[in-house]
Chains A and B, each alone.
Chain A
Amino acid sequence: MDFLKILKDIETIDPEITDRLNPRRAAIKNITSFGSKVALSALPFALGTLFNKAYGQTSNSVNDVLNFALTLEYLESEFYIKGNSSLAFTTGTAGNSAAAAALKQIQADESAHVTFLVNTIKANNGTPVTKPNFDFTANGTFNDVFENYATYLAVAQVFEDTGVRAYKGQAPNLLGNKVYLTAALGIHAVEARHASHIRQMRRAFAASGVTGVITPWISLGANGQANDSGVPAADDNFKGEDNVMQGGLDVTTLNGATTGTKTSKKIAVESFDEPLSKEAVSAIAGMFIKP
């Protein structure tokens, strides 16, 4: 391995690489003196450490987050494109023009997110992942997803709520990053707006098949379970949403809105949305991706 050549190659992309590594250009150019102080076998590690120091959050880790997000946006975007192209949802007794307009708006937003992420990854010298092949029945779990309006809305809600959790879970990987964190938070909020509206649509749809009232926010499910969606197959999507511990504080011990009361578990759950790890989201999304 020729480290001088590697540095030279990087210099063609990033002319300031030596300044980033060490303000004293001469010192880093003199790789022999550097090498003399570090055992030869440790060099790759030492160099890696130098690069991490130079770039902090590597563009690689940022692109990993963006590509993860892109996969989810592909999933959502294609879901709405397919669903909305079926007139059964948007006309006649199943739906109405307001519902159709809302679903088209969400479709447009998700497609805009796809385009935005693809362009952002490219601009950040990354390679956007290609769109996977999707199976929106999740291998037969939602067989009538594009024929039954109730199923379609249920899956839409699960996707939106999970999208909110996924972006939230990735935020720490973009800590302090004005450009990418702010953009990710901006998409995160739009997914939450979608989730709120889809939940209202499910509430308004009398034949949704849901027992109880769906709220615009994630509430406690029946019998106090974390999953309030009424979709048993989505238990993993809502796992942990019944959490009441925030920043080491039990929210149910805090004062409630009415004098002399404490915050109920229901309110504690509704007031804070929970993140989901990349692994958990990938496992869930994987059910909708053809191998």
Chain B
Amino acid sequence: MKNFEKDDQELQVENETFFSKSMQRRNFLQYAGASAAGIALVAAGCKKDDNFNRGIDLGTGDIGILNYAYALEQLEAAFYTQVALTPYASISSTESAYMTAIRDHEVAHREFFKAALGNSAIPGLEVDFSSINFASRDSVLASAKAFEDLGVTAYNGAGYLIKSADYLTLAGKIVSVEARHAALIRDLITPGTFVGPDVVDANAVNNSRTPIEVLTMAKKYIVTEINASNLPS
């Protein structure tokens, strides 16, 4: 099963549409009769909630989208907080200042959503960064790149689901800061890669992702189960 998972993830990157097909296939396997039940159980053992239909409920409408953003900002803030606590080996003063500033931005985003959502806010999420080697510059920057590029596609993909012009503007205010982060992190890894074919299409338009696509990619870092089934679509 591990191999299947890996294949799935690789294919996802190459072909966005494959993802939805494989999800459909999983759904089918999980609910299709006794012969498939055995396979479904193994699948369930490997991957927890594939469908994001149980666990902490993000909610409906704009509140749901804001909680979705809050979840992602929690993840980013937690990551950079750890980077600042345990900086990678021989971090330069410039990079240290960058990491601290980005941490502060992500914490500000997190605290903003928490305050703005008030009683509707989801609780704090439990994160799992065991796959990241915080002592390694390569590992930290690769993870940072993944988080930032993912964040940009998340906001871009959820934009049209927002009903309130004010909330849309707020999302816009945050996503461009995430894009600035993304460009910087990519340049720190390889100078001049602030933009590239892995993040934009042939029209030089940044990619976007649906909430389920984003949560699927983020879930290896999030222990808490998230229910996104009530989000608008």
Q: Which residues of A contact B (CB under 8 A)?
A: 98, 101-102, 105, 108-110, 112-113, 115-116, 164, 167-168, 171-172, 175-178, 181-183, 185-197, 200, 215-217, 246-247, 249, 251, 254-257, 263-264, 267-268, 270-275
Contact = CB atoms under 8 A, between A and B. Distances in A.
B81, B160, B167, B180 — most chain A CB neighbours (10 Å): B180
Given A105-B192, A188-B172, A263 B111 contact: yes
Interface string B155-186: 11101101101111110111111011111100
B53 to A, nearest CB: 23
Contacts of B116: 246-247, 249
B33 interface: no
A-B interface, 10 closest residue pairs, ranked by CB to CB distance from nearest: A192-B179, A186-B205, A196-B183, A172-B165, A189-B206, A112-B204, A116-B203, A109-B204, A192-B176, A193-B183
B23 to A, nearest CB: 20
B51 interface: no
B208 interface: yes
Given A98-B192, A200-B187, A182 B156 contact: yes
Given A175-B162, A181-B159, A200-B187, A251 B108 contact: yes
The prevalent SS among residues of A at the interface is helix
Given A185-B208, A216-B184, A246 B170 contact: yes
A113 B194 contact: no
B152 interface: yes
A195 B180 contact: yes
B36 interface: no
Contacts of A190: 179, 195, 200, 204-206
B145 interface: no
Nearest to A200: B187
A101 B172 CA distance: 29
The prevalent SS among residues of B at the interface is helix
Given A189-B152, A216-B180, A217-B181, 15 more contacts: A109-B204, A112-B203, A176-B163, A185-B156, A185-B175, A188-B172, A190-B195, A190-B200, A192-B177, A194-B195, A216-B184, A254-B111, A263-B107, A267-B104, A270-B177
Contact of A196 (B77, B163, B169, B194): B194
Contacts of A172: 165, 168-169
Nearest to B165: A172
B108 A182 contact: no
Contacts of A263: 104, 107-108, 111
Interface of B: 77, 81, 84, 98, 101, 103-105, 107-109, 111-112, 115-116, 152, 155-157, 159-160, 162-163, 165-170, 172-177, 179-184, 187, 191-192, 194-195, 200-208
Given A190-B195, A249-B115, A200 B184 contact: yes
Contacts of B207: 186
Contacts of A183: 205
A102, A176, A183, A186 — most chain B CB neighbours (10 Å): A186
Nearest to A115: B203
A156 to B, nearest CB: 13
Nearest to B111: A254
A168 B64 CA distance: 22
A193, A196, A270, A271 — most chain B CB neighbours (10 Å): A193
Given A113-B203, A188-B176, A193-B195, A171 B187 contact: no
A187 B159 CA distance: 13
B176 A273 contact: yes
Contact of A267 (B105, B160, B174, B205): B105
A193 B179 contact: yes
A185 B208 CA distance: 9
Contact of B177 (A109, A176, A185, A273): A273
Contacts of A246: 112, 116, 170, 173
Contacts of B104: 256-257, 263-264, 267, 270-271
